[in-house]
A and B are shown apart, each in its own frame.
Chain A
Amino acid sequence: MINYIIKRIGIAIPTLLILIAVSFYLMHAAPGGPFTSERPLPPQVLANIEAKYGLDQPIWRQMFNYLWGVITEFDFGPSYKYHDRTVNEIIGHGFPITLKYGFWSFIVAVGVGIPLGAIAAIRKNTWIDYLAVGVSIGAQVLPNFVMAPLLIIVFTLWLDWLPGGGWNGGAWQYLVMPVIALSTSYMASIARITRSSMLEVLNTNYIRTARSKGLPTKVIFFRHVLKPSLLPVISYLGPAFVGLITGSVLIDIYFSTGGMGYFFVNAAFNRDYSVMMGITIVVGSLTILFSLIADLLYAWIDPKIRY
């Protein structure tokens, strides 16, 4: 196991470096730069600005300097667009927000999705099953850019229960709608995966044996059905978790949460290179980390898998 983890980390570092190099080149390949604007700066002034930020150097050198700053000082550089903020500050501000609503969305998606799928599987072809499947399909077909404005109209405009947006330090009133909007489609997927995998497990020989030897249903379910049914769910949860905590542009746009997703997309439009790179590195590292965790969980649940 330890060897496996070391090996995976060994692979992760070059993966991250390749990701950084490719992103860096792609980013600079896009026409225009951070200081391209409708009112072009006089050439001399532009040259001054570019020299200040080191943009006049060859790309490989810029990348090396950037990486060096990240590795030695954990400094992701200044934002080119927002003069009073560094990339560290932008990530330091946006990431906790994204993490908070992403984490709660994950809890809701798992907490509702797994029971919903399980109930549907156990009560297969009853009205409960149809209702659960109906709910999950409904949740799946409603994308969050439809969901978000609908929620605001219902909860803010009609019922006047919740504020229409903002973050306010993450008070619960501000968290409810982003979490619902973000978690529903994940919840639906989890429910459907759980249902189908559980149906498969329920039809296996060992469950039939357990039934025939008279084990109580509860014992069968919790001891023999649940764990193997969750295997496909776990492999879905790894990437889903990363997706949830690394930011959703749509949630940030609709609910003015101030999370990282919007900064990321905006940075691409602004050619705010350092912000783009900083967020790429953070998201890339998290993706690698959580896929490792998911793999380890897999091994823990499935005794057939040994690293």
Chain B
Amino acid sequence: MGYVAIKGGGIAIKGSLEALEALRAAEGEQGVPLSLSAIENQLRLLTSRIVSEGGLYHPRLAALAIKQMQGDTLEAAFALRACRSTKPRLLATPVQETSRMRVIRRISSAFKDIPGGQMLGPTYDYALRLMRIDLSDEAPEVFRTIAAKFMGETPAGNLPETFPKVVDALRNEGLLPQAPARAIEPFDITREPLIFPIPRSAILASMARAETGSLLALAYSNMRGYGDVHPTIAELRVGYLPVFLPHPITGEEIEAGEVLITECEVVAMYENSDNKSKPVFTLGYGACFGHNETKAISMAILDRALQKGMKEGPANPSEDPEFVVLHIDGVDSMGFANHYKMPHYVTFQSDMDRLRTTQAKAESKQGNEK
């Protein structure tokens, strides 16, 4: 009898990868390999999700990850993160002004008449979720004219390049506290370990690359009653943010490119303050790479809930920084859930040893009692 327990791992892995690859190309002769450009554009919200959860703004690599992982969001974001591990950090980005954003959409549910006006932009919010059967068999000629037609029919108008921030207006009216001082060095979660209690910037950075569903679930628990943020969206904006970096020689800030981001600010009711200062509304902030409105809103609500928890002590899971921050990372949580598929022969052998010993003791006890 040969060595039984575990054998042939290398061959098994090779076969498994070949089977995966075969399924990717299962369409056979009718198949057309997905182009990265098609994924990046036609599945732009999926790409958005991956750049955000992957914590690396590289839509083309994100598209590649989506293709390679056959559409699994957790795996694709994971591949992007692993790619990031091979890159050194060359410099720290200075604070970027989101008021400079070239917006494609900005709304407020607090005021009808916000400075600069509401711009509904591209959203499914008011689209009827009826199946568009015509999309199932789209003529390429028609498809290729849609974007050009839209651009041609939209009047150039005199839209401003940028829009003022709603929260700035609220601050000017004294309804919101002034923005915290810039002097605070932001916490880099990719280079420093989290040791609790952690600063708000570490919490925000963790949430910015968190798994969307995990953030939503925790934020939703707060909305439903395990918490009481009761948010109003002061502003939600989506658009292209110019990124300014210091010039390597002169140190002067220059525009290095732009990133698509979603930003959300929620305003909540004021807190009880024991000091004599004027009561003001409180703010929750959310921002992430890509066009991910659900994520940005969830993040803003959780930010508000966590600030409350840090001040008054957590009364609900969504107000506890440790509970939230350590359970929202997709790479961590999916990895650990999947590791249970690995062999646990040795530990199970130990478990059996303990169970048999306690069973034997229980039996002999019962025997003695009879």
- A-B complex is real: no
Give the interface of B toward A (CB within 8 A): none
